[in-house]
Structure 1
């Protein structure tokens, strides 16, 4: 085989006040008389660690806790990044920032999130998991991750239940206020980003022993950053080239350069009214606004634009004839809003306690006037001369001049989108409890009613233009060559001049009616009403505690959507909405009721050792993307059918969970724990080709189908997850604080494939990481504080290729180092320096060792100043 590098040319040519003593030096000063003074070393880091551990120790279930001051010690800009420091927790990142949270290595979609006791909706179109990065960490009082459940908690959690609590003035002895200002610097983009935050708590004394606590907090950040990316569109597959050579190659590779501005604004307003010893009322509210402006420059190397096989190939290079190179610009602003309001109270009636909470939460994601514009250059002789993590693209000498000349690229397509997704929930909790004695032991019986009514809807609109009343090229809208470190990118597209051109000439563009109809008719609405009843008993024995009971949840699910078919033949019982495009309504409803027993046992073996055991049953409802009644694609052509659709009939994951743990708490600051867990999951969900069992008439009526490919999520066989969880904390008289945790997980799931498939039916659970770990070294002496943290997540399976396991996509392991240094002045000022992603850890997805996606972000550094005062 000839060496492709000779035919192709590389393109890279031309704090709060301290109040608790955490450890002593051992020095004692003797006095005349009975008094003796201990020399005490007090550090904020140790104080916060002790507070977190005490709450964990006293809990009636397996839980990890982080309070607001502990969160503030690390460079975590949002809730997601703060959670990653907790045992068993990992985060899924977007553009280097943490977005979604996984517990015990399990898919973030299998967790539940609440804020101030109210479920959080998801603004994203497909997801049930909430991207917690929209909530600034400055608004928090504490974070709790529950790994076992009690009957008074929602059963909708297999991985874990995340509870976010915002500020409460009655939690503080003094009225206080805090202001902070920060500037961060992105080394990759060489951009500065300001941030401001303020909070205030005050307690008003009313008549008698009544008190009103008011807590207000606000945060605003406008962050400028970006990333560089190279990724493969599609899978790497085996080819036999024209010249007879064989190898593994890709049909399309993309180079991407992102310039991003993310703006976060968060406001919390909490009012707590203490009416004395027998009653209280509260109103808690939180509003978060998250705007993401993204300019994406992209080169799409469409190697198979005209030919199905390359001219020549090896496992590290390929050369294609009549290929195409597209340059495109995505210009979009995505805005997400979350509003959570809860009004509740508690009242004691002799032996009875009654509490209620009425909540409303709403999330919305809008994407107005998004514009994707494409310029194309073809035909060309293109390929790559290096595969691996970052393929190196190449072009023959004849085409090199064209590739670098903006006038060679013709304006080909414009897509304008206006998308809106809303997710809202109204909830009510009524809880009753009564204390009594059971066999001479203190006991509490508790029961209640929980009602949740949720509505999620999507309005998707795309207008596609392919004729532009003129011979326009990239030269009319070009900008300088893109600064792209992964390879040579060439000229980019000027967003300003392109938008002015579109605004002035839009009326003259030719509309592609068929593609516009296909892209804009897939709106959907889903309703999910959940009614729950529970009964729970807590029994306190001399050195142990039992919490047991059962919960019943009834789910009523309704979905409405549109089935849109692209076909040259009329589709029976469907309305034509454009030439070759037919639509029909989809309505679906199902309901189910399930019981969820649970028991949590805690035994205080001695003053230092706590043993725990728990059994619970839980569920996770399918993601809304999987339940979507509007198919993403239906294409019919002369007996050939291709479908990609959701499945509103999916059953939820159901899990039986078993936990054991032992926790050792030292007399001074120290803790070591080991836990074992096992989960048996039924109705595991997998995306599968269901062509052999699908009812084709739902898509094309009575039209004949000779060959079909129908991809749809289905309930597969069972899955299991087991693992061990380790956590260690140790404080030293020298001022050092060490914290380490690791979760080792193993999973097994069956795809439920037919016997005719070549690949193995057994896989690890998708999105599950085998290893999750954190290590923190802290040092504090007098007014000076340092923290160095490492967060590790092991490799995890992201996508399953149903035909060939070599095509499965894996996210590579990720190790990120972060650093913070603080100096506290006596007047209440604090100076902070932080560094995030110090080693420039990339995001890497691979398939059989070949590139799936490789992205770099660079380190980010920040300098901040804060002031805390009391009044």
Structure 2
């Protein structure tokens, strides 16, 4: 563990977040005898507490106390006591976890602020792969996994050899419910809730049910979950910013002002079932099946004020006056889908010191997008003139004027002010349809075997894993443009006019813009577009196969054969686990390049074998004080879209150019160390500090540079010196940080104040990597400060929890250019604060009422280019309110 002075400089200004928590724990620390007794009771699973929050907290802390590695765990009812609908939101409550949102909904998680590709995922110990955004990321989509199907969520921050090595900062294990692990008998548990979204007044609803039976020998469970919300998203964007070319340049600043409003219906659905059979103690056979899906039907109303296409005038970062500015409108009703089909059979055997675990799994993942986007513009001759005020960059104000002839022939000037934008001036003469599509399908077959033998204080464990994965699909494609002009539709008997879909309903928006808009009926427009495409296809004038060009497709297979061995030695006052994991990885990579209109098949296989050693040591300094230290090697592989061989090649320039994937990408490798000091205190509490350091080689980034290999050569043509726009491996980098965690119920306070408790964590991070052209580049996705805090009260059947989350600004993507671009061209995401409140009241031991109040800070999610003065996106979804009933029998 290596600490850096930058972290401690920030620590002095940030530690006040947990100051109250630390002071509150002092009386508890003084009760040393009681502390030791309660810590031991928690270790043995005999947790005597009151209330569901503290029970779940005690279970989680007991598991952490006895774990072989650095781990954080959230137990099932703790998940239920937070207002979380998916597993990403539930995970974000744990130490050093940040969340990435899409239109306000939690989607990806980042452990220790690291890029999300550095975190691997498993379900019940079976490795899973992520496939999203046309295969351009391997990050796992947690918004497709409802939290209700889980019994626990575990974040392994240090690895042991029996955990997959494809994890640079952490492995997340999502653990599903086991009927034999629960109470015997027949049980039903569920909830029903209904609420509203503040922005747009749309509904949200949820429901879940889980039915289980166990008699100690046979267990069965089945369940379902549903969450749906109708949401309005306010959005403002700026495509990019021009730089001044000289001191007299008056044509720089924002290139467009993009005013958007989304109406969407999102659903998370899940079905799950399991059978377990235990003929004797220590023996179990099981079968589990899980289906999860994420559905998003999204209506877009968008108007781009194209400042950079003005006939004349001036613009800069404070404002502008421009003559004859075209306005482009975009509309669509798009469909996003993510589905997981997870099926596992397995067995456990334990006798005479032997433990054998076997599992076989088949998982299919489907990630699809269809966005039939209509675009149309104002006619050049009648486009309005524009004055814009950029003094509040997040909320630029636009004023429109007529464009009238000037004093000289052929010139135009700004005329009288317009009260508003006339949406009917978006004409059919410029209308086009772009069928934007992306699909990724994966089929994964995994078999794993683990065998352990206890030999007194020594336990030897070994295992095998074989994974065979087929991945096919294509990155986002926008190539098959369909013209909707009157001439293009001649002979179909159909017509298309964007103005005919304008409704009398004004936008639901809280963002000022200077302009008012009415919604377009995207549902009716989509139905008409489907009819137009069907007619054109029947006439041979539209071919949906052309929606995806050959250079966007990819077909890969990954075959991984893994063996590991480790030894666990327990001694008085601690234990040590050491061993290694050996992985042989084979990749077939097939695709097509389009070179000057000619399709050329290409293939670029890879095969390599790696060894991943690790060591984890735990020292019980006292009954209630634990010190851990760990070291490991890990790996993160490129995404399917990044490493694809498919590409577009231009041989007519000098040098030639290529855009697409980069089949020569190498995995990112890391060496890492971790250390933690954990103090277990009464009230099922913990006070801990942990530090980590990761050294990373071959860091991935985007750029344009020489190909440097023969991967794209064909027909005797050498393309090794062509300029390739793609992903590349940089040089070395390092990520390091320190985490503070405090949890405790304040049992030392007099009644009724002893029902209060606190959970909080603070993470401080630093890190950067180098390329040949640029040094000290921040890792995308890494906030330097992450805070999670919850104050709760639980007594007399009442449970109230207020939760606070904050993360600082973070780099999202590097600009394309020399060595990843310059810092002013990089795009960042702004920090944000979220406050949620969850209220539960037990009417009876079996029935409770709940109310969830989400995003009470009404957070605005922002992005900016280089500096907050250059925002590229501002988004808001409003507060959310949900109430209902939970039951369990």
How far the C-alpha of 1:616 sits from its partner, in A, is 0.6
- Per the alignment, residue 499 of structure 1 pairs with 526
CA distance in 2, matches of 1:123, 1:551: 25
How far the C-alpha of 1:521 sits from its partner, in A, is 5.3
1:340 aligns to 2:342 (yes or no): yes
- Per the alignment, residue 558 of structure 1 pairs with 588
- Per the alignment, residue 609 of structure 2 pairs with 593
- Per the alignment, residue 619 of structure 2 pairs with 603
CA distance in 1, matches of 2:720, 2:575: 63
How far the C-alpha of 1:467 sits from its partner, in A, is 4.6
Distance 1:339-1:703 versus aligned 2 partners, 3 A rule = closer
Would the aligned equivalents of 1:608 and 1:667 in 2 still touch at CA under 8 Å?
no
How far the C-alpha of 1:744 sits from its partner, in A, is 0.7
How far the C-alpha of 1:230 sits from its partner, in A, is 0.8
- Structure 2: 5+ residue runs without aligned partners? 1-27, 32-47, 404-414, 488-494, 748-753
Q: 1:625-677 CA distances to partner (integer Å, 9 max, x unpaired)?
A: 3112223x555666575543221221111110101110000144321000111
Q: What secondary structure, in the 3-state scheme, does the structure 1 residue paired with 2:688 have?
A: strand
After TM superposition, the structure 1 = structure 2 runs for residues 93-132 of structure 1, keeping only pairs within 5 Å, are 93-124=101-132, 125-126=134-135, 127-132=137-142
- Per the alignment, residue 249 of structure 1 pairs with 253
Distance 1:613-1:711 versus aligned 2 partners, 3 A rule = same
Q: 1:549-574 CA distances to partner (integer Å, 9 max, x unpaired)?
A: 01111110111112135xxxxx3xxx
- Per the alignment, residue 167 of structure 2 pairs with 157
Q: Which residue, out of 420, 438, 447, partners 2:439?
A: 420
Q: What secondary structure, in the 3-state scheme, does the structure 2 residue paired with 1:396 have?
A: strand
Give the aligned CA root-mean-square deviation in angstroms: 2.7
| Count of aligned residue pairs for this structure pair | 796
How far the C-alpha of 1:485 sits from its partner, in A, is 2.9
1:666 aligns to 2:656 (yes or no): no
1:616 aligns to 2:626 (yes or no): no
Deviates more, 1:497-506 or 1:633-642: 633-642
- Per the alignment, residue 834 of structure 1 pairs with 852
Q: What secondary structure, in the 3-state scheme, does the structure 2 residue paired with 1:315 have?
A: coil
After TM superposition, the structure 1 = structure 2 runs for residues 471-620 of structure 1, keeping only pairs within 5 Å, are 472-480=496-504, 481-486=506-511, 487=513, 488-506=515-533, 507=535, 516=546, 519=549, 522-565=552-595, 571=596, 581-620=597-636
After TM superposition, the structure 1 = structure 2 runs for residues 395-406 of structure 1, keeping only pairs within 5 Å, are 395-398=400-403, 400=418, 403-406=421-424
Q: Which residue, out of 63, 80, 90, partners 1:72?
A: 80
CA distance in 2, matches of 1:42, 1:827: 13
How far the C-alpha of 1:609 sits from its partner, in A, is 0.2
Distance 1:712-1:356 versus aligned 2 partners, 3 A rule = same
Distance 1:520-1:596 versus aligned 2 partners, 3 A rule = closer
CA distance in 1, matches of 2:484, 2:70: 61
Deviates more, 1:515-524 or 1:640-649: 515-524
CA distance in 2, matches of 1:434, 1:238: 70
- Per the alignment, residue 277 of structure 2 pairs with 273
- Per the alignment, residue 46 of structure 1 pairs with 54
Q: What secondary structure, in the 3-state scheme, does the structure 1 residue paired with 2:431 have?
A: strand
How far the C-alpha of 1:328 sits from its partner, in A, is 1.0
After TM superposition, the structure 1 = structure 2 runs for residues 450-849 of structure 1, keeping only pairs within 5 Å, are 450-459=465-474, 463-470=480-487, 472-480=496-504, 481-486=506-511, 487=513, 488-506=515-533, 507=535, 516=546, 519=549, 522-565=552-595, 571=596, 581-631=597-647, 634=649, 639=654, 641-691=656-706, 693=708, 698=713, 710-733=724-747, 734-753=754-773, 760-801=774-815, 802-826=820-844, 828-847=846-865, 848-849=867-868
1:192 aligns to 2:203 (yes or no): yes
Distance 1:604-1:845 versus aligned 2 partners, 3 A rule = same
CA distance in 1, matches of 2:77, 2:427: 55
Q: What secondary structure, in the 3-state scheme, does the structure 1 residue paired with 2:53 have?
A: helix
Would the aligned equivalents of 1:775 and 1:789 in 2 still touch at CA under 8 Å?
yes
- TM-score (structure 2 length as normaliser): 0.85
How far the C-alpha of 1:489 sits from its partner, in A, is 4.5
- Per the alignment, residue 55 of structure 1 pairs with 63
- As a proportion of its length, which structure holds more strand? 1
Would the aligned equivalents of 2:199 and 2:509 in 1 still touch at CA under 8 Å?
no
After TM superposition, the structure 1 = structure 2 runs for residues 147-226 of structure 1, keeping only pairs within 5 Å, are 147-175=157-185, 176-204=187-215, 211-226=217-232
CA distance in 2, matches of 1:555, 1:533: 12
Q: 1:303-330 CA distances to partner (integer Å, 9 max, x unpaired)?
A: 33477xx631332113444532111112
Distance 1:426-1:696 versus aligned 2 partners, 3 A rule = closer
CA distance in 2, matches of 1:137, 1:508: 44
Q: What secondary structure, in the 3-state scheme, does the structure 2 residue paired with 1:825 have?
A: strand
Distance 1:700-1:187 versus aligned 2 partners, 3 A rule = farther
- Per the alignment, residue 371 of structure 1 pairs with 372
Would the aligned equivalents of 1:723 and 1:743 in 2 still touch at CA under 8 Å?
yes
Q: 1:73-121 CA distances to partner (integer Å, 9 max, x unpaired)?
A: 1100110000000001111001101100110111111111111121223
Q: What secondary structure, in the 3-state scheme, does the structure 1 residue paired with 2:824 have?
A: helix
- Per the alignment, residue 263 of structure 1 pairs with 267
Q: 1:789-817 CA distances to partner (integer Å, 9 max, x unpaired)?
A: 01112211111233431111111112110
Q: 1:754-798 CA distances to partner (integer Å, 9 max, x unpaired)?
A: xxxxxx532111221211110000001211110000111221111
Q: What secondary structure, in the 3-state scheme, does the structure 2 residue paired with 1:603 have?
A: strand
Deviates more, 1:844-853 or 1:119-128: 119-128
Q: What secondary structure, in the 3-state scheme, does the structure 1 residue paired with 2:325 have?
A: strand
Deviates more, 1:406-415 or 1:327-336: 406-415
1:389 aligns to 2:394 (yes or no): yes
- Structure 1: 5+ residue runs without aligned partners? 1-22, 27-39, 206-210, 566-570, 572-580, 754-759
Q: Which residue, out of 458, 473, 496, partners 1:443?
A: 458
How far the C-alpha of 1:503 sits from its partner, in A, is 3.9
Q: 1:212-231 CA distances to partner (integer Å, 9 max, x unpaired)?
A: 11122210122111211111
Q: 1:497-547 CA distances to partner (integer Å, 9 max, x unpaired)?
A: 323433444435995899947746522111111111111000010111010
Q: What secondary structure, in the 3-state scheme, does the structure 1 residue paired with 2:844 have?
A: coil
Would the aligned equivalents of 1:245 and 1:314 in 2 still touch at CA under 8 Å?
no
